[in-house]
Structure 1
Amino acid sequence: MTDASVPGREVLLETDRLWLRPWRVAEAAIHRELWTERDERVPPHRRIDADGHPTVAELAERIRANPPSTTGFLAIERKDAGDVIGYCGLIEGQETPGEPELAFELFRRAWNQGYATEASTAVLDWARSSGYERLWATVREWNTASRRVLAKLGFTETDRREADPLYGTTLFVTRRL
């Protein structure tokens, strides 16, 4: 993995098959397409609502309003095809201040090819080199594919769970770097 980051500049991570880089405003339609593929068990605030929100324009504004930084969702671009297949990155954690959460989401067409593990490994390596000592992740109990990725990455379940009879129990997992 190459880390082309410099303090105060955007993060660009490279693996054998992928680039992880900030989203571009012109990719708002791709970002919205991810929303359309989400499982019906995902809570409503993370799905397209009955009025069609978020729209491509709203997602473009979110990208524009959040300049590239050392955290946040990085677009996952396949080197060979030049297409964006999802995102991976760090978000503000729910557990402990200063210990962010790993998050990833890929198009279904990119599932079962090792991309989530590869992208997440690059983000974990970057986090370690940036001085983080531990990361968290949250995952719905029913999301076995993401749970497998997190287990491959060395995350372990904690005792914390948030039961939700409508959308499934959220598990809190962690990993020391």
Structure 2
Amino acid sequence: MPFDPLPARLETDRLVMTPEAADDAVWLARLFTARGAGVVSTAEAEDRIVAMQRVVAEHGIGARVLRAKPGREPLGYCAIIVGRGSLAEPELAYELLPEARGMGYATEGSRALLDAVFRTGRSRIWSTVRAWNGPSLRVLDSLGFVRDRVTQDAQGELVWLVATAAARGPV
């Protein structure tokens, strides 16, 4: 079953959400570096942006940069990706710059993106989170995700959560 693409632009009360562009590389490199797994260069971030642009063009899903209104400074991203899911049942992912955490932006942006992805005709969306990541688990709970299972990999416990269009109601 083919799915409609996600809209290029989404807007909430506090956010404007648009696809990644080349000029996002500097702040994305800072965000990826903040993960603590090593320094990510601007050139590496540019490569990731190009790869995401291909995903958006080919599959109609992908990342949306969260920009705060009114100045539109970047805060992070929310994305619908294949990840550990599939094109029919993709995965919600989000990540914020350290200074943007704890203010509800992940919840607000993810809610708008979930509404949009369910309007594409999909009925189930996944998210996977490390068991130690309490803030992300709380965001997903507030969005209506429910635990499906817990698996183990080389990095430890991975919690699988799912949200369904039926449980969310009309969007």
Quickly name the TM-score band, shorter chain normalised. Answer: 0.7 to 0.9
Match of 1:37 in 2: 34
Gap runs ≥5 in structure 1: 1-6, 41-46
CA contact under 8 A between 2:6 and 2:120: conserved in structure 1? no
User: Aligned AA for 2:10?
Assistant: L
1:96 positional shift? 4.8
Q: Deviation per CA, 1:106-144: give whole Å up to 9, x if none.
A: 012111111110000001110111111000000000000
Match of 1:44 in 2: none
| Partner Cα distance (2:23, 2:132) in 1 | 33
CA contact under 8 A between 2:91 and 2:125: conserved in structure 1? yes
Q: Does 1:156 align with 2:146?
A: yes
Matching residue within 168, 171, 174 for 2:156: 168
Aligned-residue identity in percent: 35
Q: How many residues align?
A: 158
Secondary structure of the residue aligned to 2:156 is: coil
Q: Does 1:72 align with 2:62?
A: yes
| RMSD (Å) for aligned C-alpha atoms | 2.0
1:89/1:80 CA distance change after superposition, 3 Å:
same
Match of 1:3 in 2: none
| Partner Cα distance (1:9, 1:129) in 2 | 8
| Partner Cα distance (2:30, 2:85) in 1 | 30
| Partner Cα distance (1:9, 1:171) in 2 | 26
1:101 positional shift? 0.1
User: Aligned AA for 1:138?
Assistant: T
Q: Deviation per CA, 1:71-105: give whole Å up to 9, x if none.
A: 11111111123200100010004245510000000
| Partner Cα distance (1:8, 1:143) in 2 | 30
Secondary structure of the residue aligned to 2:72 is: coil
Secondary structure of the residue aligned to 1:28 is: helix
Runs of at least 4 residues off by over 3 Å: 7-10
Matching residue within 49, 53, 57 for 2:43: 57
Secondary structure of the residue aligned to 1:161 is: strand
User: Aligned AA for 2:140?
Assistant: L
Relative to the length of structure 1, the TM-score reads: 0.81
